[in-house]
Structure 1
Amino acid sequence: MKYTQLGRTGLKVSRLTLGTMNFGPQTNEADSHTIMDTALGAGINYFDTANVYGWSPDKGRTEEIIGTWFAQGGERRDKVVLATKLYGSMAVDGEAPWPNHDRLSALNIRRSVEASLRRLQTDYIDIYQFHHIDRRTPFEEIWQAVDVLVQQGKILYAGSSNFPGYKIAQANEVAARRGSYGLVSEQCLYNLAERSAEMEVIPAARDYGVGIIPWSPLHGGLLGGVLKKEGEGVRRASGRAAADLAKPQVRAQVKAYEELLDKHGLEPGEVALAWLLTRPGVTAPIVGPRTAEQLDSALRAVELDLSDEVLGSLDEIFPGPGPSPESFAW
């Protein structure tokens, strides 16, 4: 495994992030533990989760599964850089959300971190992330709450997810005025098929020393060889991938993508991950395996060197939006 610094911090993390969103809903506890053991054995030290994972009616279940894995000992907790998130309500379907049980008020930050610590069976979280922007809560209040948690030793760093570029800047400018450390990571939707983050999110993150953690690196399976699998009758596209493939332009791009990689003897899913690892500002894409076999494929991507020819062809098939403001102005 290869490692890099997380943004401007001194923290070393693996070039892949183990995403745990499938733990509970799609992968049972025993298999989830096996995947985490395999990931750690392969050198992946960066694990990501969120308090809502497990989804209704089992919100919090994913954190609980990670907690029972930590409880097995064997230096599991000490070796892992643990990231979790808060923002959404923990109320399950059919329950009316209770006031102050969601978003980023100081009250909910305090309440949520304590609940996550209990489920995770740990006394600290390495990176505590805001899952979405909160238009109602000022960053002065957010950083006040974060600073208290850092002083208490309950969290070490703060990160964001799904923030636009201007909010990354605003968050870190307010932090600087307070003498707070500010955001150190940003999880954003970023892959070959969805490159809008290149306009403002990634430039803002790079300017502020914020590490980029791309989620959905295969764009819901679209970049994982979906047409070949359909042709072989192995699996049909579903969800986001199916909706995108219904668009003629996207289907043509995916066809060209798979044909290019077939010519070079490369696997689509591995190339999609390897491409992200070449992008400026990217720290570690999130891979969310449902099985150990899917994790093995992701691990191979770290060692894959893409030629200039392949990289150039990928840009032709999936052109980025270009820098801002030139992408929409002169």
Structure 2
Amino acid sequence: MEYTRLGSSGARVSRIALGTMNFGPVIDDAESFRILDAAVERGINLIDTADVYGGAPWGDKPGQTEELLGRWISARGNRDDLVVATKVQGAMGPGVNDSGLSSLHIRRAVEDSLRRLSIEHIDLYQMHHIDRNVPVDEVLDAFTRLVDQGKIGYLGSSNFAGWNIAQYQEIAGMRAASRAKPVTEQSIYNLAQRTVELEVVPAATAYGVGLLTWSPLASGMLGGVLRKTDRSRSSVDALGGRRAQVEEYERYADELGVAPAELAIAWLLHQPVVTAPIVGPRRLEQLESAVRALDITLGAEELAELDRIWPGPGGPAPEAYAW
């Protein structure tokens, strides 16, 4: 396993992060534990979850994924070997203060996550989405108190726009007293979905914020969908106008002698701003495939060919669309 800094922090994390969205509502405790054990055996120490996982659209009980992780951590006694990341912002109940990034909700949510996870502190506590209805000062003050209280180690963001990243960094730095600053941003990023290259990637790079990428296989599009024997007609039909790209991509993966899924993750690992792709396996084989991507080296020629097959937006804004 390879390790790197967790964004702008000093903590060291694995270059592959284990996403747990499927644990509980999709796969049961036994299989989830098997995948978690295998991840740790392979050197993965960054485990990503969220308080809402287990609720809609994944299942019918928000919080069940954190509870499953809590049972696993308690059973294995390996808390000190892990970097546990979870999130706050989504709806955890019907009440008017059961969601968002108000100080009131954050204070309640962190206690609930700590209880479900059966741990004393959260290593990376991420804002799951921007909350435009709460002043940034209130949000940052709430998280700073949690850092001071030892309940969280680092603050992260997720699904932020580039200007939100800059906004939070600048406001956090305006006060003389130390304030928690996001050290990571978690965004959707893959060969087929590269919008973040316009402004999120430049902002993250400028502020030293590490990018954690979700959906590295574009919901399976980059995972060898055309060659899978168990593929459904609907999954192939869903490719629509991108089928020709997928066919060319899979042919190129064959030419390189690697699996399409491994090539997609390897490409992310070659992007300087990326701390770790977050993989969400449903089966142990999918985890093993992701780890094999670490052994793939892509040179300038291979990266250029992947850019040709899956062109990005044209670089950062505004050069991507203006003179």
What residue is the counterpart of 1:66 in the other structure?
A: 69
Residues 202-249 of structure 1 show CA distances to partners (whole Å, capped at 9, x for unaligned) of 1101111110001000000000011112xxx4212657x753x12x2x
1:287-306 mapped onto 2 (5 Å cutoff): 287-306=279-298
Which of 319, 322, 325 is the matching residue for 2:311?
319
Q: Which residue of 2 aligns with 1:52?
A: 52
1:132 CA drift (Å): 0.4
Give the aligned partner of residue 321 of structure 2: 328
Q: What CA distance in whole angstroms lies between the structure 1 residues aligned with 2:49 and 2:121? A: 14
Which consecutive aligned stretches of 4+ in structure 1 deviate over 6 angstroms post-superposition? none
Number of corresponding residues: 317
CA distance in 2, matches of 1:237, 1:29: 30
Deviations 1:244-298 (A, max 9, x none): x12x2x1111111011111222110000000000012100000001111111111
How do 1:1-330 and structure 2 match up within 5 A? 1-56=1-56, 57-74=60-77, 76-91=78-93, 97-178=94-175, 179-229=178-228, 233-236=229-232, 242-243=237-238, 245-246=239-240, 248=241, 250-321=242-313, 322-330=315-323
SS in 2 for 1:18: strand
- Is the 8 Å Cα contact of residues 124 and 154 (structure 1) preserved in structure 2? yes
Rounded to whole Å, the distance in 1 between the matches of 2:38 and 2:243 is 35
Deviation digits for residues 141-185 of structure 1 (CA, Å, limit 9, x no counterpart): 011111111111100111010000000000111111133131000
Contact 1:212 1:282 in 2 (8 A): yes
Shift of 1:308: 3.1
CA–CA distance in 2 between the matches of 1:177 and 1:307? 42
Question: 1:305, 1:52 → 2: CA distance?
Answer: 36
Q: Any idea what the Cα deviations from partners look like across 1:77-100, whole Å, max 9, x if unmatched?
A: 111100000111112xxxxx2111
Worse-matched range after superposition: 50-59 or 217-226? 50-59
**1:237–1:313: structure 2 CA closer, same or farther, 3 Å change rule?**
farther
Q: Percent identity?
A: 54
Equivalent residue letter for 1:132: H
Contact 2:143 2:180 in 1 (8 A): no
Q: Specify the code of the residue in structure 1 equivalent to 2:322.
A: A
User: Under a length normalisation based on structure 2, what TM-score does the superposition of the two structures give?
Assistant: 0.95
Unpaired runs of at least 5, structure 2: none
2:48·2:84 contact (CA, 8 Å) conserved in 1?
Answer: yes
Long gaps (5+) in structure 1: 92-96
Q: Could you say what secondary structure the match of 2:174 adopts?
A: helix
Separation of aligned partners in 2, 1:242 and 1:106: 45
Aligned counterparts of 2:29 and 2:117: Cα–Cα separation in 1: 14
Distance 1:284 1:260 in 2: 24
The alpha-carbon distance between structure 1 residues 234 and 80, as it changes in their structure 2 partners (threshold 3 A), is same
**Is the contact made by 2:140 and 2:180 (CA closer than 8 Å) also made in structure 1?**
no
Q: Structure 1 CA distance, aligned partners of 2:107 and 2:237?
A: 40
Quote how far apart the aligned CAs of 1:73 are.
3.6
Aligned partners of 1:226 and 1:237 also within 8 Å: no
CA–CA distance in structure 2, aligned partners of residues 227 and 50 of structure 1: 32
Give yes or no for contact 2:70–2:116 (8 Å, CA) kept in 1. Answer: yes
Is the Cα–Cα contact under 8 Å of residues 253 and 318 in structure 1 kept in the other structure? yes
Q: How big is the alpha-carbon RMSD for the aligned residues of Structure 1 and Structure 2?
A: 1.3
**Cα distance between partner residues in 1 of 2:259 and 2:84:** 30
Q: Distance in 2 between matches of 1:325 and 1:237?
A: 40
Identify if the C-alpha distance between structure 1 residues 237 and 286 changes in structure 2 by more than 3 Å, giving closer, same or farther: farther
